[in-house]
Amino acid sequence: MMICDGRRLPLNTAASSGPVSSQQVRRANKFPLHPNTKLLRRPSLPTTMACSPHHQGDVVFEANAIGWAPSGARTALSLRHERDPARLPAAAVRKRDVVVKLSGAAAGASVRVVQLDSAFPIGSCINGTVIQDPAFVDFFTSHMDWAVFENELKWYWTEAERGQLNYADADRLLDFCDRAGKPVRGHCIFWAVDGEVQQWVKDIGRDDPDQLMAAVRDRLGGLLGRYAGRFPHYDVNNEMLHGRFFRDRLGDGVPALMFREAARLDPAAALFVNDYNVECGGDPAATPERYVDLVRALQRGGARVGGVGMQGHVTHPVGEVICDALDTVYAATGLPVWFTEVDVCEPDDALRADDLEVVLREAFAHPAVQGVVLWGFMQGHMWRQDAALVNADGTVNDAGQRLIDLRSEWMSDARGRLDADGQFRFRGFHGT
């Protein structure tokens, strides 16, 4: 926050309210609540129920109606683009009451408090090509807070052939982010899916498990030893809900070993699980309940799991489905969640903007979510088509403008006058 004399004011503490009974909250009953979790509940309307977040320290969710359609004829589009503010009470999660006291100022003096930085980061993946595009760099430096490398830190990139290490590409990207002042997620140390494992690793995994284990340890030591303290997050063994390469060859305990060794080598880094479709529904391999089982298995093996990554590669997102997945994972684990690879596919720019807003508002309104990283934003430089926020010529499309507008909406610009005690009170978004 900045007040008239240019001082910066941290704004990071959440408001609180008292917990009430949780008996009627809709929940995946398989999991008991994490001990840090409290539930809030309001009276519901006689209609479909959906989980909705409210905040009280480590609070998770409440039950509330998504709206009433007497004919039951809610269309898929209206459900996707639900705008019920009561179901998305972001102010309860992302705002707090603030009192600014200006010594020596007269009562009635005009005051303006302008927020400069948000405590809710949004970022993007980058690669060695896009950072050479001035239009990409301009949008990235203006509107993104974090970065993640699309490929350059992955094992198949840094050691495509055994013993031939290539960290030059990652170093260049890290230098770029350092100059831009953008923290970087470390993606990824290992990848559990067979098709994403380089051939030499497959060969030794087939012929000699001891050599594979040695290679795993060398990878951990080489990567984390080189970059200790440089990456605040690491995705340790990517997509374990969809792949078992290392477990099938080295046993079910190897993912926990990866986490333990990573924690030893870089104690400051938050170590994440990361997977896709958990937030979408419809993938039996990636239900929220299976994700919770995975986290708990890692923890039983001594893993220090620091966060849960939901990738967010979505088409036609439904807010209530996203919210329910967040509720299930957070209620059972108490771990922070990041959306780590968001792209929203829709050929129509206006609908894509609406779909992107669904994802971002659900993330912003949920107390579990600490940040969102897009899997790119510029046409011609994205893994999935029809997901761009910026066109190939550098113009910002409807989806990109929607992101800019939401970021502006979630920044405080409070105006008023000092009271008789020389104070100005307002409710502001967390940040500085």
Catalytic residues: 239, 341
Rounded Cα distance, 431 and 120, in Å: 8
Closest CA to 418 of 113, 10, 114, 117: 113
Rounded Cα distance, 401 and 405, in Å: 6
Closest CA to 278 of 331, 328, 333, 235: 328
User: Residue 98: beta bridge partners?
Assistant: 426
Rounded Cα distance, 87 and 66, in Å: 6
Whether 215 contacts 198, CB under 8 Å: no
| 3-class secondary structure, 64 | strand
| 3-class secondary structure, 44 | coil
Mention every residue, 6+ apart, whose C-beta is less than 8 A from residue 189: 155, 219, 220, 223, 224, 234, 235, 236, 237, 258, 262
DSSP state of 10: -
- Mark 236-274 as b/e (b = at least 16 C-beta within 10 Å): bbbbbbebebbeebbeeebbbbbbbbbbebbeebbbbbb
Mention every residue, 6+ apart, whose C-beta is less than 8 A from residue 413: 112, 113, 114, 115
Whether 98 contacts 426, CB under 8 Å: yes
Mention every residue, 6+ apart, whose C-beta is less than 8 A from residue 12: 119, 430, 431
